[in-house]
Amino acid sequence: MNETVSLLQAHRSSRSYKSDPVPDEILDAIIESAHRAPTSANIQEVSLVVVRNATSRARIAEIAGNQPWIAQAPVFITVVMDLYKTGLGVEKAGAEQVAQRSLEGIFFATCDAGIILATLMTAARSFGLGIVPIGGIRRDPQAMIDLLGLPKNTFPLVGVALGYVDHESQQRPRMPIESFRHEEKYHAEALRPAIDAYDLTLQEYWQKVGRKGGLTWSENTAEHCKAFSRMLKPIANKQGFTLEV
Amino acid sequence: MNETVSLLQAHRSSRSYKSDPVPDEILDAIIESAHRAPTSANIQEVSLVVVRNATSRARIAEIAGNQPWIAQAPVFITVVMDLYKTGLGVEKAGAEQVAQRSLEGIFFATCDAGIILATLMTAARSFGLGIVPIGGIRRDPQAMIDLLGLPKNTFPLVGVALGYVDHESQQRPRMPIESFRHEEKYHAEALRPAIDAYDLTLQEYWQKVGRKGGLTWSENTAEHCKAFSRMLKPIANKQGFTLEV
């Protein structure tokens, strides 16, 4: 073990923030860390929009489905898949960009966006800040596009609120490791026993923390995956991500 | 600054490895760190396949377009978008999963996969290991699916090779920060000057490290984005990711 691994293994999302601002030099170091993160083939097709303005944060809190901690925390960073920026480079090289029309373009940009998001969170937590990643901005991506002035061939994939924590949250248990880590090949037979065990573990955890009506993992996953929670294809298409190949 | 931020800002990919194995307790701590990383709505829809078998690593090196460092490094971890696992939970809750048929399902799973990948890389580097992320497994996803025995509703998104570094690589300069960090709104006007400056910076860097024929960022990006490098939709569809909404 070392300091970094201890920090990673202690991850939790925080949903209660003080209004204290994040000092500029700390925010700079966090963003510089993300800027140095690995990126597919050095393409660097991710951009950040840093929002500190309280009116904009209140609007994002609303867009994300009324998440008050977004308005509370002093900084919100949107992680943008950015094939507009790359398009300028491709044009400068005398060619026409088509990557945005392919699933591969979505794959490399979302994966790099996830790397950037993780790096922001790890760096922020290393300075004692709390974080909460926000996929809820995809409830209304058009509103985010309008708020941030995002051009064609971009998409607001995910965001993160950060600030000094008021009330610290507990760390929720994860599924048994056998459902996550497979050796040499995928071992489907390990899954059902792990799911059954975890459904019980989560029930016990909800009891321990006094949460009534807490769902098992299976029930929670069903809530999120049994219907099309977000029909994003028309907005992605309009932005230029046409998923042709 | 602190130890973790120094580590993040010193990121580089390594392409030269010793054959020394990674001790089990270190690999366990790296994977446990990724297992604790944040995941969308606690869905935990990412799985890892850890490959140490030399024959499999040689095969992955070939699939990824002949990248010898994959065969050289003692460990290769594939990061799998896993809506097969979630489907078992949804079924247990008496419902039918449809998330895999939506772009939203792709977005949350790829973003979480990127978070897991970043966490694996940061944890590995904190133990003094080198890493190289490998998107090249998407050159032939079907070969990876066959090799790893991946079920329906899964996709091998990305991988990472890790081990003790033989010859350390240099850190390549990044684009100017103004092309990455935007304040309050997206500032498109910052991009062209940043691209022009970076094209020159990279040319100077290639000269400094003695690489002949090194491309500017614009030229490199054009090479990757001007054609459909990978036509993944049929394989994603076959796996269950049908992109209907």
Do residues B207 and B148 both lie within one domain? Answer: no
For A140, B63, B113, B224, the CA distances from B159, given in Å and listed in that order, are 31, 12, 10, 19
Measured CA to CA, the distance from residue B105 to residue B114 in angstroms comes to 14
Instruction: Give the domain-ending residue among B128, B154, B170.
Output: B170
- Are B107 and A183 an interchain contact pair (Cβ–Cβ within 8 Å)? no
User: Percent of chain A scored above 90 by pLDDT?
Assistant: 98
Pair B160, B179 in one domain: no
pLDDT at B127: 98
Q: Are residues B161 and B212 in the same domain?
A: no
Contact B44 A217 (CB under 8 A): yes
Distances (CA, A) of A114 to A12, A154, B169: 17, 15, 24
From the list A149, A99, A12, A167, the residue with the least C-alpha distance to B227 is: A99
Residue A80 banded pLDDT, cuts 50, 70, 90: very high
Q: What is the pTM of this model?
A: 0.98
pLDDT at residue A99, rounded to an integer = 98
Pick from B7, B102, B177: which is nearest to A228 by CB?
B102
* Same structural domain, B67 and B104: yes
Do A133 and A198 reside in the same domain of the chain?
A: no
B195-202, long-range: CB within 8 Å, 24+ apart, which pairs? B195/A85, B195/A88, B195/A89, B195/A92, B198/B173, B199/A92, B201/B173, B202/B172, B202/B173
Contact with chain B for residue A60, Cβ under 8 A:
no
What are the tens digits of pLDDT across the range A96-108?
Answer: 999 999 999 999 9
Q: Which of the residues in chain B have pLDDT under 70?
A: none
Residue B24, chain A, CB below 8 Å: the answer is: no
**For B175, which DSSP code?**
P
Asked which of B152, B170, B188 is the last residue of a domain, the reply is B170
Please indicate, yes or no, if residue B85 is contained in any of the structural domains. yes
Q: How high is the pLDDT of residue B169?
A: 87
* Separation CA B108–CA A231 (nearest Å): 13
Distance from the B123 Cα atom to the nearest Cα atom in chain A, whole angstroms: 6
For the cut 90, the answer to whether the pLDDT of residue A1 exceeds it is: no
Taking residues A174-191, report their average pLDDT. 98
**Interchain contact B158–A (C-beta under 8 A):** yes
Same domain as A175, residue A165: no
* CB-defined contacts A:B, below 8 A: 401
Does residue A169 carry a pLDDT above 90? no
Identify all chain A residues contacting B122, using CB atoms and an 8 Å cutoff.
4, 8, 118-119, 122
> Is residue B245 assigned to a domain?
no
Contacts with B224 (C-beta within 8 Å, 6 or more apart), sequence order: A41, A43, A99
Residue A158: per-residue pLDDT: 98
Domain boundary (A150, A169, A188) is at A169
Q: Are B43 and B13 in the same domain?
A: yes
> What is the tally of structural domains in chain B?
2
Whether residue B25 sits in one domain with residue B98: yes
Residue B234 is assigned to a structural domain of this protein: no
Domain boundaries, position A104:
3-169
Residue A123's nearest CA partner among A47, A34, A38 is A34
Q: What does the pLDDT read at residue A76?
A: 98
Question: B224 touching A, CB under 8 A?
Answer: yes
Judge if A58 and A150 occupy the same domain: yes
Residues of B in contact with A217 (CB under 8 A): 42, 44, 89
Q: Inform me whether the C-beta atom of residue B152 falls under 8 Å from chain A C-beta atoms.
A: no
Verify that B136 and B123 share a domain, yes or no. yes
CB contact under 8 A, A180 and B31: yes
B164 and B195 housed in the same domain:
no
Judged by a CB distance cut-off of 8 A, whether residue B56 touches chain A is: yes
User: Could you tell me if B37 and B115 lie in one domain?
Assistant: yes
Answer whether residue A241 is part of any domain: no
Q: Any idea what the CATH number is for the domain that residue B133 is in?
A: 3.40.109.10
Residue from B39, B84, B182 whose CB has the most chain A CBs within 10 Å, to mutate: B182
The predicted structure's pLDDT at residue A6: 97
Tens-place pLDDT, residues A14-43: 999 999 999 999 999 999 999 999 999 999
Residue B243 in any domain: the answer is no
Q: Tell me if chain B has a CB within 8 Å of the CB of A118.
A: yes
pLDDT at A61 over 90: yes
Whether the predicted interface score ipTM is above 0.90: yes
CA distances from A189 to A111, A182, B146, B239 (A): 28, 11, 17, 19
The dihedral through the CA atoms of B225, B229, B231, B232 has a sign that is negative
- B238 belongs to a structural domain: no
Look at residue B129 and tell me if it is in a domain.
yes
Interhelix angle B54-63/B141-148, nearest 10 degrees? 170
Contact check, Cβ <8 Å, A126/B96: no
Q: Does residue B235 lie within any of the structural domains?
A: no
CA distance A12 to A161: 13
What are residue B3's phi and psi, to 5 degrees? -60, -45
For residue A100, give how far its alpha carbon lies from the nearest alpha carbon of chain B (Å).
8
